[in-house]
Amino acid sequence: MARPVKSARTAQSSQRRKVRRDLAAAALELFATKGYEATTVDEIAATAGVARRTFFRHFRSKEEAIFPDHDDTLERVEAVLLDAPPQENPIDTVCRGIKEVMRMYAASPSLSVARYRLTREVPALREREIASVSRYERLFTRYLLNRYDEHSHLGDEPLLAEVAASAVVTAHNHVLRRWLRRDGQGDVEAALDHAFTIVRRAFGDLPAGAGQRAGAPRAVTDGEVLVTVARTDAPLPEVMRAIERALDQRG
């Protein structure tokens, strides 16, 4: 008896995604042809074939409109974290989670490339993109903090969780930007896997404990905190080599 209700909800969700994507395509087209500042919400709605009030049911502002899939992607990422096998290393789980974000971009390469170029030119869109990405980083930080042993780093668990989450997100963004600059050409998932291999060298052995699921692997550390310095524009391999050198010096 519940099946028709579920089917109706699925249809509504599908229609919602379609409207959001139509609005995003309209916004992107108008921003590219008329310019961001000259484009109005009314024009975006009209181009998409919907009313102004429909636009505001889906987006709060015109800059938000060109990122229609982040909400749904965030839900998929959360599902990856919640459904992770008990024995999986937390860093591996987070790496699997952020792959959902990459798949979102890779599903429409031409749209992603056009959006990337536009966000480079319009500060308001760039700020919106940064805000969207930061939601994933906060989610990963909370997840890792919940998985780390609360007595392993003498109170530095929040720092380590945030740094590790940031490393995973930075690796993802580094690979994504390189792919977008190549017009969406190449095996982006293979490049992402390589970047994650580098991240795991630095963070894969952080201990999980009190917040972890039963059976998750543990590691013993002496509670030290690693601090290293790298340029903000340094390539990811250079950043990771700096971390590795610091680890070698510590040992």
CATH number of the domain at 69-219, out of 1.10.357.10, 1.10.510.10, 3.40.50.150, 3.40.190.10? Answer: 1.10.357.10
pLDDT at position 207: 57
pLDDT tens for 6-60 read 566 677 777 888 898 899 899 999 998 999 999 999 999 999 999 999 999 999 9
In angstroms, the CA 207 to CA 214 distance is 13
User: Is the predicted pLDDT of residue 218 greater than 50, yes or no?
Assistant: no
What's phi and psi for 148, nearest 5 deg? -80, 150
Q: What is the mean pLDDT of the chain?
A: 82
pLDDT at position 138: 95
Task: Judge contact between 132 and 65, C-beta under 8 A.
Answer: no
pLDDT at position 11: 74
pTM: 0.73
Domain with CATH 1.10.357.10 in the chain: 69-219
Distances (CA, A) of 149 to 27, 137, 215, 218, 224: 46, 20, 13, 9, 14
Mean pLDDT of 188-207: 86
The more confidently predicted of residues 247 and 31 is 31
Task: Judge contact between 73 and 100, C-beta under 8 A.
Answer: yes
- Grouping H, G, I as helix, E, B as strand and the rest as coil, residue 208 is strand
What tokens appear for 67 in the block?
């990122």
Domain with CATH 1.10.10.60 in the chain: 8-65
In angstroms, the CA 132 to CA 59 distance is 13
CATH fold for domain 8-65: Arc Repressor Mutant, subunit A (1.10.10)
User: Is the predicted pLDDT of residue 216 greater than 50, yes or no?
Assistant: no
pLDDT tens for 65-115 read 888 888 889 999 999 999 999 889 999 999 999 999 999 999 989 889 999
Torsion, CA 54, CA 107, CA 104, CA 8, rounded to 10: 50
pLDDT at position 151: 55
